Structure 1
Amino acid sequence: MYQQLYQFRPSDPGEITARSLVLSLLAGSEVPQISISRLIKAGTLFDIEAATMRVAVTRLMQSGHLESSDRGVYVPGPRSRALTTRVQKWKDVNDRKRDWDGEWLTALTQHLGRTNRKQVRARERALALSGYRETPQNFWVRPANLARDLQDHRNDLISIGADEGILIHRVCATASGEEAAWSGLWSVDVLRESYDRAIRTMEDSMKLVPDLPATVAAKETFLVGQSVIRAINYDPLLPKELGPDHRFRDMVMMMRTYNKVGIACWLRFDASA
């Protein structure tokens, strides 16, 4: 389910719910908190009523995804804090990588079971967010080119949803030579096409938004920006030996530019009546 989310896919306005809008705005905010008034105003872009936004905020607080830092002001709660922080650091995504020495990371999950479907989804999302792909032998692998050491990387996985009992190993060789097939778990052509499509979408959007009404421009930049940041955060961060690393860097650089355009559009929207 989660293994294809690294591919860029423009967000569908019809898929935006009050819950997803609250979490996306909080994760995408330049400041670590957001007010209920701003959430309600943002909801109007997607025909979400104020009462619906308030209910979503209440339920997110009850589930631990939000906390109130002041009256009518919200920050990430304990259940979303690690993931929100990760999303907010998309600009520094290239710092998560180091040169690849040909070794691999493996995640063993068979002993964790699959009866708790909610936890299985959280586990697989955490692995997908960290660039792992599942092998035919039912364990997960990725190149060992992440900047974090093994224990810190394992802690990162757990903080975003993986089980406490997950086993992470570094593999330098296998007797069966399986690592030769692991490189094919990611499609270079699919990645390159995804990066190119994201860049084209941002370029086209930046040509349009200066002439759009404030509400339309804010909605446009939210949908485009959200979908690109999602692709960045789900990217497998492959080394240059396995994927089009230069094109990924181009996409991130373009998103930095697009983010400035989006901020300007939202300032214009916030100032509108």
Structure 2
Amino acid sequence: MYYFKPLDPKDVSPRALVLSLMSSAFTAPQSISRLISAAALFDIEPATLRVAVTRLLKDGLLESPDRGVYKPGPKSKALTRRVQGWKDVASRIVPWNGDWLVALTGHLGRTDRKQLRLRERSLALSGYKETDAGFWVRPANLARGLEDHRADLIGIGADDGISLLRVSDRALPEGGRWESLWSTDELAHTYAEANDAMMKSLERLASLPCDQAARESLLIGQAVIRTINFDPLLPPELGNQDAFLRMVETMVHYNNVGRKCWQAYYTAMDGA
């Protein structure tokens, strides 16, 4: 779920595009004309884009502070803030003393499929993995206190009834090592893949037409940001934290270049 894979233009739906733009570094409200210009890069018709915006408004994921202008809605603000915080990810981790965070979810039920998806997404976004016993765990190397962290989980979709524990001692059956829930080799590989994709893209963006440059920067940038946001933020004892932070540093630079690509594209469209 958290491994890097560049987005395919054909997989960019109107809904996903709008939500991506709303959670990007462009934090100002977006006009419908800008959204339509962005949609044109992915062969999404204006009428189709407008339908997606209307449905997002109905679902509370967008709101309109003025006619034809949109920003994240009440049901997406917490998640949008979480996604936008990728650049500050280093501030969310602290040295690990060996403790673990345990999220208890068995009592919450699984019949509400929509809520189940929201719960599992919030846990995945926070680096948890599910154990064979049915509860979720992660290393306790997050900077937020337990109560604040629980509030964060709820804010991005977890149930109000979720329970969190901090565990310092464990007695597990054979083969139940929590450390093995993450593939550190695959994580290291994904950091290298993401860095390589960004570096190769940076070499060619300046020579591309502004529409192609804007499209490529979104396809690669959003994929890297997703990789960052779904990373489990493992401590150095369990993963290659330095390689992860180098990927984030590269993405900060790539994001700045990508913003310029989009500004150039919008300027060209406004003057057309």
The TM-score bracket by the shorter chain reads: over 0.9
Q: Is 1:203 the counterpart of 2:199 in the alignment?
A: yes
Correspondence 1:45-56 to 2 at 5 A:
45-56=41-52
Q: Match for 2:212 among 216, 228, 246? A: 216
Structure 2 distance, partners of 1:128, 1:217, is 31
Equivalent in the alignment of 2:70:
74
Structure 1 distance, partners of 2:250, 2:22, is 22
Residues 100, 239 of structure 1: 8 Å contact kept: yes
Aligned residues: 269
Distance 1:186 1:65, change over 3 A: same
Could you say what the CA RMSD is over the residues aligned between the two structures, in angstroms?
1.3
Residues 105, 141 of structure 1: 8 Å contact kept: yes
Cα deviation 1:211-267 (Å, max 9, x = unaligned): 111111100000000000000000000111110000001000000110111011111
Correspondence 1:79-118 to 2 at 5 A:
79-118=75-114
Q: Match for 1:144 among 140, 143, 149? A: 140
Cα deviation 1:41-83 (Å, max 9, x = unaligned): 0000001011111111111000000001111111111111001
Cα deviation 1:74-129 (Å, max 9, x = unaligned): 11111110010111111001111011010000011111111111111110000000
Equivalent in the alignment of 2:17:
21
Unpaired stretches in structure 1, ≥5 consecutive residues: none
Structure 2 distance, partners of 1:13, 1:226, is 12
| AA aligned opposite 1:43 | A
Unpaired stretches in structure 2, ≥5 consecutive residues: none
Structure 1 distance, partners of 2:102, 2:228, is 22
Determine helix, strand or coil for the equivalent of 1:141: strand
Identity level (%)? 57
| AA aligned opposite 2:21 | L
Equivalent in the alignment of 1:120:
116
| AA aligned opposite 1:222 | L
Determine helix, strand or coil for the equivalent of 2:239: coil
Equivalent in the alignment of 1:185:
181
Structure 2 distance, partners of 1:7, 1:170, is 27
TM-score, structure 1 length as denominator?
0.96
Equivalent in the alignment of 1:244:
240
